């Protein structure tokens, strides 16, 4: 491990806005019986305005989007979630140095998210340039599996925002909404071409990957939808649980085939390499 990462990890320990729970404690009773973290239901205590609506960004990377939203919308509290401590360091350091009282960060795997947030504690979710996971539905952050997790803490009718360069993920998520009768609030296959009909924040605030894929000529897609308010059953933890279904009308093979070529840091992405090999 490089010295710079070690320095960042050490400095992370000093940031009060960054929560780094022990995975071993969460998993003490097994993967399917996660232990609740003490912060669950008490996130308001970590912010200057405890009663402000709570907004999550899942897979926040370096936290630049979380921070930018928090600066533009000071009457909401924001938590960026990611597993990479060296990435979170940048957002946590900025929030600390600028004394942002409405920003927090959580270092954990998104699969563990229900251990940290109580029913109705979160008002909105942002999914910004998530890996489309074109080979594994249950790994997609808009899959039925993840929607069930979100339904355990997202307030009834809570908003989920998706920004992506991936036509595959965008079309898949639309299909999930259709299959589960989830109301679509806004959608665009080319956000920047239709910027005048959206909140300026959507185009003025960009993630690192957003800028990278725009430079490669990929239209940025945006989708905002609501989770259903009524639960359909009870989970193993005794909490109300919404059951969601996979879309039967989604042609995964077709949408994989039209994804197009992408590079990250000058190299082909994993899926681009697969498509090239398939085409030989």
Residue 180's CATH number: 3.40.50.150
**DSSP structural state of residue 202:** H
118-166 tens-digit pLDDT: 999 999 999 999 999 999 999 999 999 999 999 999 999 899 999 999 9
Least confidently predicted of 3-7, 18-22, 34-38, 264-268: 264-268
What per-residue confidence (pLDDT) applies to 230? 43
| CA separation, residue 29 to residues 24, 34, 280 (Å) | 9, 6, 47
Answer for the pair 159, 125: CB distance below 8 angstroms, yes or no.
Answer: yes
DSSP 8-state code for residue 98: T
Rounded Cα distance between 66 and 205, Å, is: 10
The first and second tokens of residue 75, run together, are 């009457």
Question: Domain range holding 170?
Answer: 3-278
Pull the structure tokens for residue 84. 């990479």
Q: How many domains does the chain have?
A: 1
Distance CA 17, CA 117 (A): 16
pLDDT of residue 228: 76
Averaged confidence pLDDT in the chain:
90
Q: Are strands 233-234 and 240-241 parallel, antiparallel or unpaired?
A: antiparallel
Residue 157, judged by CB atoms within 10 A of its CB (0-12, 13-18, 19+), counts as exposed
**Which residues lie closer than 8 Å to 211 by C-beta, 6 or more apart?**
none
Q: Residue 38: which of 19, 57, 64, 18 has the closest Cα?
A: 19
Provide the token pair at 93: 């350091």
195-228 tens-digit pLDDT: 999 999 899 999 888 998 999 899 999 999 999 7
Tell me the Ramachandran region of residue 124: left when phi exceeds 0, alpha when psi lies from -120 to 50, beta otherwise.
beta
Q: Tokens 């259903």 identify what position?
A: 228
Quick one: angle between helices 3-12 and 85-97, nearest 10? 50
Report the alpha-carbon distance of residue 165 to residue 5 in Å, rounded.
Answer: 29
Catalytic residue among 4, 36, 120, 131: 131
| 131 is annotated as an active-site residue | yes
DSSP 254: H
How many degrees, rounded to 5, is the angle at CA 189 between CA 153 and CA 242?
Answer: 20
To 5 degrees, how large is the angle CA 241–CA 246–CA 251? Answer: 165
User: Which of 103, 102, 99, 100 minimizes the C-alpha distance to 81?
Assistant: 103
Task: Give the tens place of pLDDT for each residue, 234-280.
Answer: 555 665 566 899 999 999 999 998 887 777 656 656 556 555 555 54
Dihedral Cα 91, 94, 97, 103, nearest 10 deg: -50
- Report residue 172 as tokens: 């898949």
> What global pTM score does this model have?
0.90
Q: Would you say the C-alpha torsion 225, 81, 5, 23 has a positive or negative sign?
A: negative
């Amino acid at each position: 491990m490089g010295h710079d990462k070690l320095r960042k990890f050490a400095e992370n320990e000093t940031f009060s806005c960054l929560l780094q729970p022990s995975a071993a404690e969460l998993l003490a009773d097994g993967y399917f019986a996660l232990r609740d973290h003490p912060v669950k239901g008490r996130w308001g205590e970590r912010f200057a305005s405890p009663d402000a609506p709570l907004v999550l960004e899942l897979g926040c990377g370096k936290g630049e989007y979380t921070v930018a939203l928090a600066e533009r919308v000071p009457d909401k509290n924001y938590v960026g979630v990611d597993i990479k401590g060296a990435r979170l360091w940048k957002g946590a350091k900025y929030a600390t140095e600028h004394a942002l009282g409405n920003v927090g960060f959580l270092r954990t795997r998104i699969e563990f998210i229900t251990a940290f947030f109580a029913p109705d504690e979160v008002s909105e979710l942002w999914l910004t340039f998530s890996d489309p996971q074109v080979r594994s539905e249950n790994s997609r952050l808009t899959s039925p599996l993840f929607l069930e997790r979100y339904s355990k803490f997202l307030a009834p009718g809570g908003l989920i925002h998706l920004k992506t360069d991936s036509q595959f993920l965008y079309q898949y998520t639309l299909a999930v909404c259709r299959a589960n009768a989830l109301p679509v609030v806004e959608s665009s296959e080319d956000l920047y071409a239709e910027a005048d009909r959206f909140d300026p924040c959507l185009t003025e605030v960009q993630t690192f990957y957003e800028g990278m894929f725009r430079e490669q000529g990929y239209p940025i897609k945006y989708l905002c939808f609501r989770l259903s308010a009524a639960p359909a059953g009870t989970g193993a933890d005794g909490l109300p649980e919404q059951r969601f279904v996979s879309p039967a009308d989604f042609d995964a093979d077709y949408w994989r085939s039209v994804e197009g070529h992408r590079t990250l840091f000058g190299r082909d992405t994993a899926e681009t390499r697969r498509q090239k090999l398939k085409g030989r």
